[in-house]
Structure 1
């Protein structure tokens, strides 16, 4: 048997093992005086012979026959776990998600520390007094149509308005220099 043939048998093995008796037991037939491998009906509990064994069968062969369903189920479970572990080990790591932008903090910093941004607001957005950081923030909130700068981190549309304002500011900055 080669690997291709073994792979082709896997669905059949899975189907048969699901239908076969859960476990087999060794028994002895008093009618013919020979050992038997027996199954148990899961519904009735009735024991029925599956195979009659020759007297000369070795203990190892007898054990292999008696435990065949258990061994097949164990091998299938080990195979499935090996496949799962292989797939997990070879799966590329997930793309790291970029840290969400804190637009509220970005705007606060611009309003507090960026004199060019204050001049831009005076020239383009009718800011009356650029000397007061709170007035600058109030004007920016008005331009962005938000009640609080925190909305920039929770409302995608508000964030887009901030990005557009920031882009316009960068353009103004290049032109005004």
Structure 2
């Protein structure tokens, strides 16, 4: 089990959480064989698209189609990480490729339902390692999320501009979804 100081609760729209059902849960990828079995069922055209992922509280990777909500992938539970991920198949023996012949091409923390901070990377990295997937050293694209203390809206901070896109209030420099 991965132990981190932060777990992420769902902070998105209540109606999406209310519509979460167990049949929308992401595929558990706890070991290399799990990934091999899962990827063999994914239609080839879908493999070029990003997938929704979460890392559950046991440190296990869950994967679902991109059009899936992160909270559905996580069965409505808290997570250690969430975002989008793409995979690429490489010829055997190529540098940087796990024994499965697959590697993570891109991985982000893009989830407006959980708004995970960049410090969720160690949990994501550990889950990918457990799944036997070669991976980058960090998020290939990282998002900075903040909740506006005035209007309570979720924001993506761009270009270090910590100002709410809706009401213009200053946003905190530190991640703040654990309050409110």
Q: TM-score range by the shorter chain?
A: under 0.3
Q: Which has the higher strand share?
A: 2
TM-score w.r.t. length of structure 2: 0.18
Q: Which has the larger radius of gyration?
A: 1
Q: Which has the higher contact order (CA 8 A, sep 6+)?
A: 2
Instruction: Give the structure with the larger helix fraction.
Output: 1
Q: TM-score, normalised by structure 1?
A: 0.18
